[in-house]
Structure 1
């Protein structure tokens, strides 16, 4: 068949535009058909008006309207050096320009004046590449002078993300009060609240005569709820600046009453102007991380490993190893510090009362105030500034019902009322001023169908029988005002509504599960490791890593742990994002 004739052929010469610019530049260099001279510092640069008009709104206005320059053959550009002007004209004819620290500022000023927007943004990009914690505040000042929003945004972002380093710079002390307040009240500030306090104190001490009176307004920007009580009551409360302010001392007294009372009534008694400060959210840069530590690894000896899971990156990181191997220690988190309490030291076969702590700031294990009694196979739970240790086995290997409490404000342990019934391996959780202990087993390894409840403020226990409870070696976790009891030689998961005193059935686990661990991360339950009963009724170790979403009542696999693990700790640790790079 004959091909139909092409009526129109659209040809595009891809080299035409670039060749045209090269030819125009050659004509300029040879001073051919140029019709205007741009003058600066006794230097005259020949140009073509139509090229200048096409490159900049500034020259379009100059040569296309009834300005005097339209009739002139020589235009004197004041405020632009000949070097900068030559660079800009070269750019107009070639699209190329070299930017360095020596010329970037006058080049930006000239580009702004002559309305070369792309040169201006190229300079901004160059300065953004030079940003560091040492100069970002200066860059913000510069961006405001130059009206450069892109540079200001990038410099502000660095100041927020690297605030720990920025706060040590001299530039920070030169900030005005509104500027400093803007940083301290910003939810995205990447700093611990202790650092926020130290920063405002340093700023005031830089000019104490004129700034001393600002302490009250600045102190309100510190989110006291997220400060370690020891730092707050021993360091901040004794600072001369704080003691000189009635408002500051009243705020600290309000926090002290809230923490000491361990009752909800105190919040109602707190001054109305303090309540908004107490309920202020934590900053966005505080991240919740899942930590897995200790336990029996690959069914071999007790593990010293400590792992950190970053949910955003979906990766495991290794933390510093536990100092010794501990069999059936307990694990808890308080004030962004990990606590490992008691346990049987496998090297000596001795039950100990040692307490080890780990902070992500240092990634080093330290010993803390030891417990009153040595114990292992016990339970621990944190509430407000307390750690409660319940039951377990003592040096005589007998089940004990004793309870002790660690007060982080005073760094001391004290004995509390013992459990009504001593049990091993119950599910334990704390919420709404109470500790709930579900099930477990007695000294003869028989399941116990009771709920034991401890009222924290009253130091009183109560117990009630409940046929729904039949769990052994199952973890419990609090989410959305419900206590979830996960498995325990069963596939069943139930949620206990403490207000209604009733159980709600949830989606089952895939296998009968025990000796696993659970924690809450970003409004979901995370279940790690444990042991399970396979299809042949054989108990096997697990490396499973799953999450449960209460909104959809569904389980999702999150992959696997780096190894099989049971009788371990699984905790949620809050930390500031910037610290993660140091691990």
Structure 2
């Protein structure tokens, strides 16, 4: 018979290694079998060569190769304080180390010198846990001196994420030109362009004699297209540093001319190096958020609420409430600021047509009053283009339908009258693209659908109109997506895509219900519609809390969830803000 194979069991005694270390440490403390003294000044610490050799390549080379220390019983470690040396030895024998901010740096230096890599990383992790905006730049310097990549990565991440706070630190002014340029040129910098400009000015003023000549190179890092015109032309343009540089003043003048001429083709007449500067994208840390504002909530009174949708978390966040209740104002975004324009006041004994303008930015989450319109109105349409806001038609102070058009110039903070619409219409679909405003359909004073496309040429201040039997929309929004204008619903399930270059309509995938009084906006190249009212199969009118998204690539609608409540006659806009979360992801 064959002898059965012996079954082998492998055991690991998890306590053996720690117990052995404890015994060795006890022998060291009792000076038993120790064969070398580590010395710092008058302090002498008995140790076992075998323990030191097994714990560090530094001591292995010292005691196992032909160095003079191999024969010595006393090793003088110069430049290491007794406290730090004691901590190192305690760590070697116990694996324990006590860290404080006042000892971690010298301990890290000694750990690097004696090649205790794990202790070095422990110190690095401790410093990473104590990173704050005030010290992250100095930590980057330290990481470069000690060649600690993990600390450098985390400190750089902190500097990028909290740049607004970091820019106020003295350490920033000590950066070299190339280091500062590296930050300002980075798409992942978590800062608004206004902050970028203020940072470079502060850096130059720290040492104006040697740094003044760098203004033109640094100014090219400011993405002028994404700065509010008022700040650019009233503050930046008048800064003495900018005025001292011919190139800087030429760049600002190019932006001014570009905005005045409206037509983007005129950029070809500017300096060769201006085009890439103008087309520089927003930094990656900017996040677009959909904001739903106002309207009638749950068929009750006019709502003052503003809700922001975070696409990454799929959650709605309540913003500051509009100061007053307004029935059918218009809502539009310009330069990442939400404008609530006009409307009918409903929180007074006698409702009044308003010409007030209220603004909100995500940065402050506070409402402010802006320059009022020239004339009150409500149930009107507003659209933004370049640095303008256009307010079209609606009902005037006499509550009659008007064809008049007002324009707000954000460069000068002024309202002005421009050419009126050829036909006064109520509740049309409005969109702006390619230097023109397109007004589709709507209804006349007798509430009959108007089958017209009215077109305003912004540069020429001229209107034209075209009859079109395809147009038959009322209370439908319009948006621009990938150079096409989409007209979404309007007492119908139909959605049309209009190509302004060819003057042709394309029928897209139908909505689920016959929608009206809803809102539409483009976010990250997708079309979102919110709320509204819809007609049931029995022609009953129901309010909706729907939140749907259209993908033009697949020509399909899907649900994006729902609004927190039913809503109609509201507005929706996209606003951008600097996102620390986006900075972490990058």
> How would you bin the TM-score normalised by the shorter chain?
over 0.9
Aligned to 1:409: 411
Greater shift in the superposed pair: 10-19 or 367-376: 10-19
Greater shift in the superposed pair: 162-171 or 325-334: 162-171
Q: In 2, distance between residues paired with 1:479 and 1:195?
A: 31
Of residues 349, 352, 356 in structure 2, which corresponds to 1:350?
Answer: 352
Q: In 1, distance between residues paired with 2:11 and 2:174?
A: 62
User: Number of aligned pairs?
Assistant: 578
Q: How does 1:69-88 map to 2 (within 5 A)?
A: 69-88=69-88
Q: In 2, distance between residues paired with 1:392 and 1:491?
A: 25
Within the alignment, does 1:11 sit opposite 2:36 as a pair?
Answer: no
Greater shift in the superposed pair: 527-536 or 381-390: 527-536
Q: In 2, distance between residues paired with 1:35 and 1:323?
A: 81
Shift of 1:122: 1.1
Q: In 2, distance between residues paired with 1:406 and 1:81?
A: 70
Within the alignment, does 1:479 sit opposite 2:481 as a pair?
Answer: yes
Aligned to 2:38: 38
Aligned to 1:230: 230
Aligned to 2:328: 328
Greater shift in the superposed pair: 55-64 or 291-300: 55-64
Q: Cα 1:15–1:504, aligned 2, differ >3 Å: closer, same or farther?
A: same
Shift of 1:79: 2.0
Q: In 2, distance between residues paired with 1:197 and 1:564?
A: 43
Aligned to 1:61: 61
Q: In 1, distance between residues paired with 2:127 and 2:229?
A: 42
Q: In 2, distance between residues paired with 1:275 and 1:401?
A: 38
Aligned to 1:432: 434
Q: In 2, distance between residues paired with 1:53 and 1:554?
A: 69
Q: How does 1:374-523 map to 2 (within 5 A)?
A: 374-523=376-525
Aligned to 2:220: 220
Greater shift in the superposed pair: 62-71 or 166-175: 62-71
Q: In 2, distance between residues paired with 1:325 and 1:6?
A: 87
Task: Answer whether contact 1:28 1:46 (CA < 8 A) is retained.
Answer: yes
Aligned to 1:143: 143
Shift of 1:5: 7.9
Q: Which runs of 5+ in 2 are unaligned?
A: none
Q: How does 1:536-575 map to 2 (within 5 A)?
A: 536-575=538-577
Deviations 1:302-358 (CA, angstroms, capped at 9, x unpaired) = 111111112122222222111111111000011111111111112342112111111
Name the SS of the counterpart of 1:520 in structure 2: strand
Q: In 1, distance between residues paired with 2:30 and 2:363?
A: 66
Deviations 1:151-178 (CA, angstroms, capped at 9, x unpaired) = 2222221111111112122222222222
Task: Answer whether contact 2:362 2:575 (CA < 8 A) is retained.
Answer: no
Within the alignment, does 1:317 sit opposite 2:317 as a pair?
Answer: yes
Deviations 1:110-158 (CA, angstroms, capped at 9, x unpaired) = 0000111111111111112222222222222222222222222222211
Name the SS of the counterpart of 2:358 in structure 1: strand
Deviations 1:20-49 (CA, angstroms, capped at 9, x unpaired) = 222222222223333322222232222222
Name the SS of the counterpart of 2:289 in structure 1: strand
Name the SS of the counterpart of 1:165 in structure 2: helix
Aligned to 1:109: 109
Name the SS of the counterpart of 2:14 in structure 1: coil
Aligned to 1:162: 162
Deviations 1:473-519 (CA, angstroms, capped at 9, x unpaired) = 11111111111111111111121122232222222211111100011
Deviations 1:6-27 (CA, angstroms, capped at 9, x unpaired) = 6222232222222222222222
Q: In 2, distance between residues paired with 1:579 and 1:8?
A: 53
Within the alignment, does 1:240 sit opposite 2:221 as a pair?
Answer: no
Within the alignment, does 1:100 sit opposite 2:100 as a pair?
Answer: yes
Q: In 1, distance between residues paired with 2:242 and 2:425?
A: 48
Greater shift in the superposed pair: 452-461 or 50-59: 50-59
Name the SS of the counterpart of 1:351 in structure 2: coil
Deviations 1:361-419 (CA, angstroms, capped at 9, x unpaired) = 33222221111221111100000000001111123332211111111111111111111
Task: Answer whether contact 1:351 1:376 (CA < 8 A) is retained.
Answer: yes
Q: In 1, distance between residues paired with 2:541 and 2:13?
A: 75
Deviations 1:158-200 (CA, angstroms, capped at 9, x unpaired) = 1111111121222222222222211111111111111111111
Task: Answer whether contact 1:360 1:579 (CA < 8 A) is retained.
Answer: no
Task: Answer whether contact 1:543 1:564 (CA < 8 A) is retained.
Answer: yes
Q: In 1, distance between residues paired with 2:10 and 2:169?
A: 62
Name the SS of the counterpart of 2:491 in structure 1: coil
Name the SS of the counterpart of 1:103 in structure 2: helix
Shift of 1:64: 2.7
Q: In 2, distance between residues paired with 1:63 and 1:117?
A: 19
> Normalized against structure 2, the TM-score is what?
0.95
Deviations 1:528-565 (CA, angstroms, capped at 9, x unpaired) = 11111223321111111122222222222222211111
Of residues 528, 531, 534 in structure 2, which corresponds to 1:532?
Answer: 534
Greater shift in the superposed pair: 538-547 or 393-402: 393-402
Q: Cα 1:401–1:171, aligned 2, differ >3 Å: closer, same or farther?
A: same
Greater shift in the superposed pair: 4-13 or 253-262: 4-13
Q: How large is the Cα RMSD of the aligned pairs?
A: 1.8
Aligned to 1:179: 179
Shift of 1:578: 5.1
Shift of 1:252: 0.5
Q: In 2, distance between residues paired with 1:343 and 1:197?
A: 37
Aligned to 1:253: 253
Q: Which runs of 5+ in 1 are unaligned?
A: none
Aligned to 2:292: 292
Q: In 2, distance between residues paired with 1:534 and 1:28?
A: 87
Q: In 2, distance between residues paired with 1:171 and 1:548?
A: 48
Task: Answer whether contact 2:163 2:190 (CA < 8 A) is retained.
Answer: yes
Deviations 1:207-254 (CA, angstroms, capped at 9, x unpaired) = 222211111111111111111111111111111111111111100000
Q: How does 1:113-124 map to 2 (within 5 A)?
A: 113-124=113-124
Q: In 2, distance between residues paired with 1:286 and 1:150?
A: 26
